[in-house]
Amino acid sequence: AIKFQLKNLLLLMPGENISDPSFGCGLKRYLFLGQNENLSPIKQVIKSQINTYLPFFDFLDIEIDLSNIEYSSLTVKIQFEISSMKISDALEVTIEL
């Protein structure tokens, strides 16, 4: 359920969720960044959305891979931990055109 919620948050475009138009990272819009682009704005959007909508994580590490950008592909890997539930896991999402 946690991975589903994270994936949903990453993939939905802001405005796509009618009940909360601010919900979603909209990662598809970042597909056209160059490999040398600064990734901190993407990470900040992800962290902000997670802190707002899924604030139960004790640890988050976000990695973004643009190495396949020439093939219109972007990969986001999030390692997370929820101490109270003794959960430590990771989610990897690849977005393609």
Give me the average pLDDT of each 10-residue run along the chain (97 residues): 93 90 90 71 93 94 79 87 92 89
What pLDDT, on a 0 to 100 scale, did the predictor assign at position 32?
A: 73
Q: How many CA atoms lie within 13 A of 62 on its CB side?
A: 17
Please name the helix (run of DSSP H) or strand (run of DSSP E) that holds residue 80, with its range, or none.
Answer: strand 73-82
pLDDT at res. 22: 93
Query: Which DSSP category does 12 fall into?
Result: S
What lies within 8 Å, CB to CB, of 74 at 6+ separation is 27, 30, 31, 33, 64, 65, 66, 68, 94, 95, 96
pLDDT of residue 37: 67
pLDDT at 67: 72
Paired residues of 62 in beta bridges: 78
